[in-house]
Amino acid sequence: MQLRIDENWKMSEVDGAIIGIGQSFDLSLVPDRLSEVLKQLKEKELFQGKIDESYSLTWMNDTDWVELIFIGLGDSESFTRNKFRAEIGDAFRALKKKKINILGMDIQSITGIYDDPKVISRILAETLIMSDYSFDDYKSDRKSHELKTVLLKGLSFDQDALDEGEILGKSNVYARSLTNMPANALTPTKLANMAVEYGQTCGFDVEIKDLDEIKQLNMDAFLSVSKGSSEPPKLIIMRYNGNEKSDKRLGLVGKGLTYDSGGLSIKPTASMVNMKDDMGGASAVIGAMGAIAQMGVKTNVTAVVAACENMISGHSYKPGDIISSMGGKSIFIGNTDAEGRLTLVDAVTYIQNHENVDMVLDIATLTGAAIHCLGVDASAILSNDDTFYSNVENAFKKADENQWRLPIFDEYKALIKHEQADLTNSAGSPGTITAGMFIEAFVKDIPWVHIDIAGTAFRDKQEGIFSKGGTGAGVRPLYFLAKKLSK
């Protein structure tokens, strides 16, 4: 799909159109014949231009039919960027189903409602790319229609912002595609190979460490999780050097469980079906690295993924085991389904000891408790540093993804300790907080942020910019974080 600025496109040149109308109903911004239609719709109270409102019709131009959707933009008080994204996404998908080839978009009415052409340019590009994705790769009767061109008018569009939005949209879609791949296809080895290929395409370096090298690093917690599977673990290290004049480096760690059965603390079948998405954190950091490199962000970034499966065999680690870790702390295994934090602590230790990062952020589909706490519309965050958290918070706002910071009280710190070992991997409620604090126990004296995307990484139904399945949560915030740190 090609996005093109064309301030002079006409209805006769397109076979589908999305036209934004504000609540003020300034009909001087639409062609005369359409203004008459809009007058009638308003009189009949079928379309008022309110945000979240749309109306579809088939319109006859001079030569052919045009599938047309009016979307309401509301006013400066009711307009929100996420509602705008959702409207565009829903309208785009509806028109794509009607086999549109050339889509015209006219959003002149946004003037005076949201006056930031750069932001709207980026949002439009992101939204169109993200709304164009669906996961149907394995359907034998797949009949995917490709919408070829989108013509944009009605705004002082910023080409650089459009380009940035297109890269961010594609990076998000790439992360979704990783998350959606079934576990029999996306093994740790396959994920590692795809990271290498993606790095070559986007411009960042990738190093893969195999089982023997992981053993030499004494990553015992990571290895304990992986040893029940016949698939070997892989340590994926991605490096991007955006600023040779600086020795500062941002560290990103993504949870990479390509499948999680729960291990011997086995999940019920219904809970296992979507456990291919337990590498949503890995998808986020890989997708973000692609965007960072392609946009040439002037920040040095290293990302690490400890990729493995949590399976059942005679080799599996067991509840009641006491294991070691790369960080030297002993861990009592209260539950083999609390495995993600075990892989993360070794990855966090590795990135601090071997990659010389100055701050570390880990992102993971870590706890069901995060869903009970914040649902599917916000990610949970813990941090030991207010300044670093503030940068992350602002990055989430810029990406229009919701987050909420949870507290780290002294009373909680005792919960992750164990009488037989230094720590327990199953500290109980509050589960999202204790899981994050378990990771914090391996963080040295550097700024740290933990992001739990268990609720936001996956959707059960298609709506707005989201298709059913992986959402690519975290990709765009991580990009904006790296961009902020370049200044």
Q: How far does Cα 176 stand from its chain's mean position? A: 7
Backbone phi and psi for residue 264, each to the nearest 5 degrees, phi listed first: -65, -25
With the CA atoms of 454, 460, 463 and 465 taken in that order, what torsion angle do they form, in degrees rounded to the nearest 10?
Answer: 40
Contacts 24+ apart (CB under 8 A), 266-270: 266/312, 266/337, 267/337
Active-site residue, selected from the candidate residues 239, 267, 329, 484: 267
- Each residue's pLDDT expressed in tens, for the chain with a length of 487 residues: 999 999 989 888 999 999 999 999 888 877 767 888 999 999 999 999 999 999 999 988 767 889 999 999 999 999 999 999 999 999 999 999 999 999 999 999 998 899 899 999 999 999 999 999 999 888 887 777 789 999 999 889 999 999 999 999 999 999 999 999 999 999 999 999 999 999 999 999 999 999 999 999 999 999 999 999 999 999 999 999 999 999 999 999 999 999 999 999 999 999 999 999 999 999 999 999 999 999 999 999 999 999 999 999 999 999 999 999 999 999 999 999 999 999 999 999 999 999 999 999 999 999 999 999 999 999 999 999 999 999 999 999 999 999 999 999 999 999 999 999 999 999 999 999 999 999 999 999 999 999 999 999 999 999 889 999 999 999 999 999 999 999 8
Please give the radius of gyration of the chain, using alpha carbons only, rounded to the nearest integer: 24
Q: Which two tokens stand for residue 462?
A: 């298609």
The angle at the Cα of 162, spanning 171 to 456, to the nearest 5 degrees, equals 40
Known catalytic residue: 476? no
The model's pTM is 0.96
Asked if residue 439 lies in contact with residue 255, where contact means CB atoms within 8 angstroms, the answer is: no
Q: Say which DSSP state 466 is in.
A: B
Q: Is 118 a catalytic residue?
A: no
Query: Using an 8 Å Cβ cutoff, are 462 and 128 in contact?
Result: no
Residues with Cβ within 8 Å of residue 169, at least 6 apart in sequence? 125, 126, 127, 128, 129, 130
Q: Looking at 156-269, which runs of residues are DSSP E strands?
A: 205-209, 234-241, 250-260
Residue tagged active-site, from 341, 398, 459, 483:
341
pLDDT of res. 148: 93
Q: Helix (H, G, I), strand (E, B), or coil: what is residue 452?
A: strand
The predicted pLDDT at position 60 comes to 83
